[in-house]
């Protein structure tokens, strides 16, 4: 008899079970899709941002036979061979013009000569001056020298490397492209490593711009941040964990610190602008002000991490030390802090990593100015690495896209270093009781 | 010694007082020039200062409603993107994933959380916005080059790790007994998650979303680089809108005198931002604390 089948074999039941299993599978697939989507976003983000990053440290340079002729330079007849002073008035433009015209003898007329010279970077003369200062014996000789080209040449060759027949939309004229072709044929154009990318300051010309100034600005800023937020944060954490009475005031303090950790960073920038610049009259764009502003942001992070680390020190250590006659301050200084220090340092490194990538507060205190000089002190006007990225990203000049990628690559590498150090520290020194 | 430590711990309070004090002082000065009701309810935002007194439109407009609307639009887009992805990713890693998958998924989310926002901004402006624009043109839609959608999408990616890690906390603190009871009744895993775990974790999830919203509202660099400057009052995600943080940056970067209504307006916007994000955090803290009390 069909009716004797138990209920979980009925068709209605099987249908219901099938439906439930389908929905189970669907839910699981949704979960997988979500995780995959997050992973794919990260991959697309990193690839699209970094794909041209390595190119930032390269630029196209042209090999020219340059005659370091004192007459052309306007230095007058050759003096004794002892150290020569290359005055700012020395006409390296004329030297370059001569060298170019010797390479392309049939160029005539001012307009054509101007087009020819436009192939070179505007900083080419300064590069020659540097070389002559470093090696005075060059004076009066003719040398083959590599000279940075204008960024348009770089863009053209980059496009051709990707697609040999490419005709990218540059500002180069047909005549200029013909000259470039001639130089390429004679192996006089090359993409060469540009160390100045890591040492130079900002520039209007992509081929001359570097992240050196921004890197140093970030370093100075973070030093100030560390010097302020580390001692204050650890002291506050020690007080809250070891000495604070459990009363309303303490609880207020805790809530306050937690809330401060969630305040948008730009608000800290407004505080820096109103108090440090407006009230105290400190210098604009200075690493010291940036560091102080970021310190206020990092403080809650360090306090929270330090408290967790101090709280993890077992009670019996405190009690043993007290039992041996140590004062409360001695217990903290000799027992608790040494044990808690790895955790505290880990939290500090993570806080610093966050501060390093922070941009908005620095915009508020004026670290967005166009600054060519590499800063030498805490009060010099300076940029910072993330701000430099923002500035270059906003620059319509196409050559800067590569520079942005390069700067981001360096920033992410530094962040990876900081975070990696934090993780390593935690694994190496983590104690379980 | 003890006094020095106490002094150090009060710095956090001093910072809060400093923030509130400086923002309030400048805001009060702003409201002496522009009445509060015009700022909070006005529909026209064009904070230009007239060069001559008799210039057309010399009064300038300080109605911040378009900024609030733009901020909400971009925040809403980001939560629509990050909410489902973050929550589902948290559920998947907590209930389904093998240890190997978890060992990959968690660090991936942590890296997403560690990428500086200026990098997200560059990504939004250089990669996402052009793609959305050309996609829209293909479909015959009119997409602004600085559309709210591009900024919102990328901000959503940035918010995913926040939602997933906070949701993960909320889900995993639900007592194991609840899970076991549900399985014992014959529920499948997804039924357990949907009918037992999520309702029990609801306060924590609400807190997670509130914190994510607060983070999106206060986010600056992505919108500065990818959202527009024009204060359009529109619900259209393909149009360009501007946000509170974008306007703060625009008003305060570049040459400025410290006293004009223009710079003071930035502080009024900053105070609004501070109050709203603080409010969201306080509510989130309150909600999640009550749920912890319930589960013990």
Quote the pLDDT of residue B258. Answer: 60
The domain limits of chain A are 8-50, 56-194, 212-429
Which pLDDT tens digit goes with each residue over B42-51?
A: 888 887 655 5
In the predicted model, what is the mean pLDDT of residues B207-229? 93
Confidence of residue A78 (pLDDT cuts 50, 70, 90): low
> Does A274 lie at the interface with B, CB-CB under 8 angstroms?
yes
214-273 of B, contacting A, C-beta below 8 A: 214-215, 217-221, 224-225, 245, 248-249, 252-253, 258, 266-267, 270, 273
Chosen from A40, A257, A270, A294 to mutate, greatest number of chain B CBs within 10 A: A270
> Lowest mean pLDDT: which of A374-378, A414-418, B86-90, B194-198?
A374-378
Quote the pLDDT of residue A1. Answer: 45
Residue B24 lies in a domain: no
Q: Report the C-alpha gap between B13 and A257 in whole angstroms.
A: 8
Quote the pLDDT of residue A84. Answer: 57
Residue B116 lies in a domain: yes
Confidence of residue A416 (pLDDT cuts 50, 70, 90): very high
What does pTM read for this prediction?
Answer: 0.88
CATH number for the domain spanning B194: value is 1.10.3720.10
Quote the pLDDT of residue A357. Answer: 93
Q: Flag if B8 and A231 touch (Cβ within 8 Å).
A: yes
Confidence of residue A76 (pLDDT cuts 50, 70, 90): low
Q: Flag if B12 and A265 touch (Cβ within 8 Å).
A: no
> Lowest mean pLDDT: which of A54-63, A210-219, B107-116?
A54-63
Quote the pLDDT of residue A67. Answer: 81
- As for how many domains chain B has, the answer is 1
Which pLDDT tens digit goes with each residue over A44-64?
A: 999 888 887 777 778 888 888
**Domain of residue B114, residue span:** 62-295
Residue B55 lies in a domain: no
> Lowest mean pLDDT: which of A9-18, A123-132, B68-77, B230-239?
A123-132
Which pLDDT tens digit goes with each residue over A115-147?
A: 888 888 887 877 788 777 777 777 778 888 888
Q: Flag if B89 and A244 touch (Cβ within 8 Å).
A: no
Of residues B156 and A117, more confidently modeled: B156
User: Which one of A263, A364, A386 has the shortest CB-CB distance to B277?
Assistant: A263
Q: Flag if B282 and A35 touch (Cβ within 8 Å).
A: no
> Does B159 lie at the interface with A, CB-CB under 8 angstroms?
no
Of residues A429 and B84, more confidently modeled: B84
Of residues B193 and A6, more confidently modeled: B193
The answer for residues whose C-beta is within 8 angstroms of residue B126's C-beta and 6 or more apart is A48, A49, A393, A401
Which pLDDT tens digit goes with each residue over B178-190?
A: 999 999 999 999 9
> Does A30 lie at the interface with B, CB-CB under 8 angstroms?
yes
Residue B26 lies in a domain: no
Domain A212-429 belongs to what topology? MetI-like fold (1.10.3720)
The phi, psi pair for A61, rounded to 5°, reads: -130, 150
Residue B193 lies in a domain: yes
pLDDT of A79 above 70:
no
Quote the pLDDT of residue B116. Answer: 94
Confidence of residue A252 (pLDDT cuts 50, 70, 90): confident
In the predicted model, what is the mean pLDDT of residues A322-345? 91
> Does B103 lie at the interface with A, CB-CB under 8 angstroms?
no
Quote the pLDDT of residue A50. Answer: 84
Confidence of residue B223 (pLDDT cuts 50, 70, 90): very high
Quote the pLDDT of residue A64. Answer: 83
Quote the pLDDT of residue A85. Answer: 64
Confidence of residue B292 (pLDDT cuts 50, 70, 90): low
Which pLDDT tens digit goes with each residue over A360-371?
A: 999 998 887 787
């Amino acid at each position: 008899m069909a009716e004797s089948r138990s209920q979980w074999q009925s068709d209605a039941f099987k249908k219901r079970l099938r439906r439930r299993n389908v929905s189970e599978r669907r839910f699981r697939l949704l979960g997988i899709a979500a995780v995959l989507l997050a992973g794919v976003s990260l991959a697309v983000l990193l690839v699209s941002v970094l794909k041209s990053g390595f190119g930032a440290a390269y630029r196209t340079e042209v090999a020219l036979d340059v005659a370091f002729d004192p007459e052309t330079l306007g230095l007058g007849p050759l003096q004794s061979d002892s150290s020569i002073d290359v005055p700012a008035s020395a006409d390296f433009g004329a030297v370059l013009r001569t060298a170019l015209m010797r390479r392309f003898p049939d160029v005539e007329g001012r307009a054509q000569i101007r087009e020819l010279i436009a192939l070179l970077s505007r900083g080419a003369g300064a590069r020659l001056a540097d070389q002559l200062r470093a090696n005075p014996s060059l004076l009066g000789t003719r040398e083959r020298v590599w000279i940075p080209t204008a960024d348009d040449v770089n863009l053209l060759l980059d496009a051709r490397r990707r697609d040999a027949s490419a005709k990218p939309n540059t500002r180069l004229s047909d005549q200029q492209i013909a000259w470039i072709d001639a130089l390429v044929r004679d192996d006089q154009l090359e993409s060469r490593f540009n160390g100045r990318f890591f040492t130079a300051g900002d520039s209007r010309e992509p081929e001359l711009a570097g992240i050196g100034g921004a890197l140093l600005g970030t370093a100075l800023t973070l030093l100030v941040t560390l010097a302020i937020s580390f001692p204050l944060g650890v002291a506050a954490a020690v007080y809250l964990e070891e000495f604070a009475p459990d009363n309303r005031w303490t609880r207020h303090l805790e809530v306050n610190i937690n809330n401060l950790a969630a305040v948008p960073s730009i608000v800290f920038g407004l505080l820096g602008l109103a108090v440090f610049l407006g009230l105290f009259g400190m210098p604009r764009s200075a690493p010291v002000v940036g560091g102080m502003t970021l310190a206020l942001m990092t403080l809650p992070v360090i306090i929270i991490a330090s408290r967790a680390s101090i709280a993890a020190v077992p009670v019996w250590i405190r009690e043993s030390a007290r039992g041996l006659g140590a004062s409360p301050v001695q217990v903290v200084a000799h027992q608790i802090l040494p044990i808690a220090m790895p955790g505290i340092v880990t939290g500090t490194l993570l806080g610093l990593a966050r501060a390093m990538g922070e941009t908005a507060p620095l915009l508020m205190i004026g670290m967005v100015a166009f600054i060519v000089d590499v800063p030498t002190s805490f009060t010099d006007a300076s940029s910072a690495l993330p701000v430099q990225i923002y500035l270059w990203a906003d620059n319509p000049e196409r050559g800067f896209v590569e520079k942005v990628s390069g700067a981001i690559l360096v920033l992410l590498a530094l962040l990876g270093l900081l975070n990696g150090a934090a993780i390593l520290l935690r694994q190496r020194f983590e104690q379980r009781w | 010694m003890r006094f020095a430590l106490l002094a150090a711990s009060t710095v956090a309070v001093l910072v809060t007082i400093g923030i509130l004090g400086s923002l309030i002082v400048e805001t009060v000065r702003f409201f002496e020039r522009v009445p509060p009701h015009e700022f909070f309810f006005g529909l026209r935002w064009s904070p230009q200062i007239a060069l001559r007194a008799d210039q057309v439109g010399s009064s300038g407009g300080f109605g911040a409603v378009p900024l609030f609307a733009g901020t909400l639009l971009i925040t809403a887009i980001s939560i629509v993107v990050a909410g489902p992805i973050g929550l589902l990713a948290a559920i998947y890693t907590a209930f389904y994933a093998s240890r190997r998958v978890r060992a990959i998924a968690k660090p991936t989310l942590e890296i997403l959380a560690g990428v500086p926002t200026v990098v997200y901004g560059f990504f939004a402006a250089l990669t996402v916005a052009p793609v959305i624009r050309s996609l829209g043109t293909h479909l015959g839609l009119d997409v602004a080059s600085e559309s709210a959608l591009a900024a919102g999408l990328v901000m959503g990616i940035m918010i995913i790790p926040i939602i997933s890690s906070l949701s993960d906390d909320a889900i995993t603190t639900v007592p194991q007994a609840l899970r076991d009871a549900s399985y014992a009744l014959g529920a499948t895993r997804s039924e357990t998650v949907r009918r037992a775990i999520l309702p029990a974790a609801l306060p924590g999830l609400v807190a997670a979303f509130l914190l994510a919203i607060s983070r999106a509202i206060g986010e600056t660099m992505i919108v500065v680089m990818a959202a527009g400057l024009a204060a359009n009052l529109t619900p259209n995600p393909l149009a360009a809108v501007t946000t509170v943080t974008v306007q703060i940056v625009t008003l305060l970067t570049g040459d400025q005198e410290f006293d004009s209504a223009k710079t003071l307006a930035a502080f009024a916007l900053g105070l609004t931002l501070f109050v709203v994000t603080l409010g969201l955090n306080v509510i989130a803290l309150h909600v999640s604390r009550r749920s912890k009390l319930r589960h013990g």
